[in-house]
A and B are shown apart, each in its own frame.
Chain A
Amino acid sequence: MYWNSFNDFVHMGGYGLYVWGSAGMALLLMLVEPILAAKRHRRALEQAASGDNE
C-alpha cells in the first residue's frame, strides 16, 4: 500500500476535501440513480398488475 497510515489516506496530502468531495458525490449519485430506476420499475409492475392506466 502507498499510504503510511489511515490518517494519511484521509488527509490526501492536504487535498482531502476535494478528493473525498468528488468520491462522495460519485457514491451518492451512483446509489440514488439505481434506487430511483428500481423504484420506477417496481411501480410500473404494480400498475400493470392492477390494470390501472395512469
Chain B
Amino acid sequence: MFKNHSGLTWFTYAAPSRFYGMAGKAIPWLWALCLALTVAGLFIGFGIAPTDFQQGDSYRIIFIHVPAAWMSMTIYAAMAFFAVLGWAFNTRMSSMYARALAPTGAMFTVLALWTGALWGKPTWGTWWVWDARITTEFILLLLYLGYMALTEAIDDERRAANAGALLALVGAVNLPVIRYSVVWWNTLHQGSSVSAAGGNKMATTMLVAMLIMTLAFWAYSFAVAFTRARAIVLESERDTEWVRSLTRG
C-alpha cells in the first residue's frame, strides 16, 4: 500500500500541504474553545467549588496541577506514537507531529512540577522530595528535553526522526511507571482521587471544574501544536511548489 506511486506521493507531499490548510482553519476555533472552557472551568473551580475541609483553599491548585500532569503524559504517548509511526512507515507528517508536540508536553511537565512544588509546601511542608511520582515526572521532563535536543541536533530530517523515535519509544516505559508509582511505592504523593473503575472521592463541583480545565488544556495543546506543526511543515517543504505558490499569495 505504501509502495505504489500514488500512495508514496500522498504521504510525502500531499499530506503536509493538506494538513497546513486544514490546521490553519482549525486553529482560531481551537483558541475560542480553549478560552470558553478556561473561563467556565476557572469560574466553577475558583468561584463556586467550596473550600476543602482538610487542605483549605490550597487544594485549588488541583485545577491546574492535575490537568497539566495528565497532559504531560497524554502528549508523551501521542508524541511516541507519531514518532514510531513515522519511523515504521516513513510517513514524514507523523514525524513532524511528534516534533510539534514535544515542547508542549515539556511545558505541561514543567507546569505540573511547578504547581506540585507550590502545593507540596503548604500540605507536606516541603517544595520538593525525591518521591516516586515526582521523580518519574522529572524523568519525563528529561525525556522531552532529550528528544528535542536529539531531533534538533541531527541535520538529516529522516535520521533525526528515526533517532528521536527510538528515544521516544524507550522512554515510553516511564509512562506506566508514573501512572502506578503511587500504587507501587508508598511515598509522599497521594493516590489518585479519580478513577474510571472506583468512581471519585471529590465533591462534584471540584470534579467538574477539573475535567473542564482538562478539556481546555486539550484545546490549547491542539492549537499550539498545530501552529508549531505548520511552521515545521513550511521549514521542511520550503522548496516545494505548493509552499512557493503559498508565499506568492
* A interface list, Cβ under 8 A from B: 1-3, 9, 12-15, 17-19, 21-23, 25-26, 29-30, 33-34, 37-38, 40-41, 43-45, 47-49, 53
Contacts and interface: CB of A to CB of B under 8 A. Distances in A.
Interface in B18-50: 46-50
A25 B238 contact: no
A41 B64 contact: no
B225 to A, nearest CB: 8
Contact of A45 (B60, B122, B234): B234
B224 interface: yes
Interface of B: 46-51, 56-58, 60-61, 64-65, 68, 103-104, 107, 110-111, 114-115, 118-119, 121-122, 220, 223-224, 227-228, 230-232, 234-235, 238-239, 243-244, 246-247
Nearest to B235: A44
A41 B56 contact: no
B177 to A, nearest CB: 25
A33 B220 CA distance: 10
B64 A15 contact: no
**Which interface residue of A37, A40, A45, A53 has the most chain B CB atoms within 10 A?**
A37
Nearest to B31: A34
Given A2-B47, A21-B118, A41-B227, A48 B243 contact: yes
B234 A44 contact: yes
Contacts of A13: 51, 56-58
B50 A2 contact: yes
Contacts of B244: 48
A13 to B, nearest CB: 4
Q: By DSSP majority rule, is chain A's interface helix, strand, loop, or mixed?
A: helix
Given A13-B51, A29-B110, A18 B238 contact: no
24 contacts: A1-B47, A1-B48, A13-B51, A13-B58, A15-B60, A18-B118, A19-B60, A22-B65, A22-B119, A29-B107, A29-B110, A30-B107, A30-B220, A33-B103, A33-B107, A34-B223, A37-B228, A40-B228, A41-B234, A44-B230, A44-B234, A44-B238, A48-B234, A53-B239
Nearest to B238: A48
B115 A22 contact: yes
